[in-house]
Structure 1
Amino acid sequence: MRFHQLIEVGLLLLLLLAIIYIWQQYKTIKKLNKLRKDSRRIKERYMEFIELLPLTVIELGPEGKITFLNSVGYDMLEITNYDIEQGVLLNEMILKDQQQQFTEDFLYVLEGGLNKGQEYVLRSKSGVRYSIIIYFSRIINNRVTEGVRGVILDVSSIKELERKSFQVVIDTEERERKRFSEDLHDGLGPMLSTIKLYINQMNKSIVSDKERMELLDFTNDLIDEAINSTRTIANNILPSSIGDNGLWSAITAFCNNIEQTGTIRFVLVNNTDLHFSKNVENSIYRIIIELVNNTIKHAQAEQINISFELENETVKIEYSDDGVGINYELGKGLGLKNIKNRCKSLNGQYRIYNEDGMRFELIIPIVEIIE
């Protein structure tokens, strides 16, 4: 009887142990299922997150083949899941002369090196080029390196912006050089020509001592004006005579200085009372003195006529001489180009006539030039 009781007790204990084991296994399986579920949820959230990123997320195996891409990466590289299954080496999509450097950088990261971002040029499957920066880190699972994971930043637009910014700097420098050249030609050029004219007059034997002294005084005044204009060009401001007295007074003073040589006469008429902006005054002044300079040099003229008139909401500027007219071969030089460029900057319409000498006409809308 006692033996049977012992057997029953033993069986009960075994049953209890089995129940405890099964319960523990159940709890373990439940935990594992929860971990799997949590892991799946984390992976899903990870995938959702990387799909929201505006950059390429990529994984490479230890041999450098692409094992994972987000949708941005598929679009950039223009490859499919089938391509990845067949095996795509990222190195082969890097510009040929950068492939060796990429391989060295990849192996360095694979061995535990720190990647701080490397620049490459990548070509998509169809040949589109991208300037990129790659950031990689190792993928380690159970202390085994399984590859690298990272992001690819497309910096093509930044590089293009840098290129355009650099081009803007170059264009700006070129415009400044051109402006400097024009200012030297239009500002100092006519003054130096007039100084030379005075000196030639002084060297003539028919000039009296009194006239020679007057010419010397005029030359000295012009040299002072040339010095001031040099300062003006250096400081990128208006000619001093304009800044001090206004446009018409500056034109009158300039013409009077030349008229003192006795080589040419001026008839000046101003029927406007408008105040132009400083930049407009500077441009008109440069146009006038360049025209005068061309007449003195080439036209063999005896008289120059300059007039400012108001006409139908425009300012009409007329310049004429009684010389031999324009030699268009000479007109291809910097002087005529500068005149044309300055007319365009004023949004003006200009015409040049060869009839009984030369006549130049410039019409500028008032709205473009008044202060």
Structure 2
Amino acid sequence: MAQEIHNDQIKNLLSSVVNNAPYGMIAIDNFDQIVLVNEQAISFLKLDVNPNDLNELVIFDQIKHVEQLYLKLNQIVKNQYQDFNIDALPFDDKFLNFRGRKIKEGYIVTIEDITRDKEMEMVALNSMLEGQELERRRIAKEIHDGIGPSLSTVRLLLENVSSENNRLDNAKFSTQMSVIFDMIDSLTGDIRNISHQLMPKLLIDFGIIPALENLINRINKAERIKIILFHSILSERFPELIELGLYRICQELINNSVKHSSASEVQVQLIEHPDSIILMVEDNGCGFDKTSVMKENPGVGLINVESRTNAFGGNFILDTAISKGVTATIEIPLEK
């Protein structure tokens, strides 16, 4: 009798520890059935589950709405179970960390709410990106207002020298001046392009669609690739940082397709929803092995895309395989 009371006390103590833990907890047996779940896990994942009535509840039937967790657990089961981590998964209005650990009797999944940490990280990243954009704007203004006029003045002076020299019929010197003029014209064009890249005037003055149309038209003229833009944008303007972010992301993804994909066509779609904007860039190129590339050498371009997307609290999905082209989807939330 005393032993039974002692066992009941231990069970009650363990139950109290689980239910009052600062993180969610789900225990799953080797038949994929839930044997324990606490209120924190139910709250975090919006589960329709009674923790006191878990009669033959299969975990996969309960978490279909948490897509990334559902896919990860399915993958784990096929591989005969192994430990896993999912960091900063956006779900509902939170960011959640998941830790899955294999035990003899089945599986333990813990869930930690890191929303506050993620928000602080996003604030810091936003500040960094905003600082970068301000610096780019400053440099663009210096190039446009300083270097450009100076080069124009130099050209006028050289034209005068050349004109006087022509009266002396110095053919060799005239040829040299012609070469210099060509070099200056080329340099002026380069500086103009740099200025547009640093701070696209169309974007600042007219918004994301005219800026993307201009970007795409310039690339179509310069490269052997066809880029097509589709959009369903109804709003006149969006917050400046979001427009700049979308422009930079699109610029990076198009640049990747032009340089690395061997594609003949790229489709760019920008879709406005009530609570978000979706950017999709899809090419018909050679694609790549996503698993190995993202693990071993994702490249600066993809890292920049992911960082910018995360800075806005958005989602970045990359869908590709060898010979299957690349589809990049970015969803940026809008504050109403």
Give TM class, smaller chain: 0.3 to 0.5
TM-score (normalised: structure 1): 0.37
TM-score, scaled to structure 2:
0.41
Larger RCO (CA under 8 A, 6+ residues apart): 2
* Larger Rg belongs to: 1
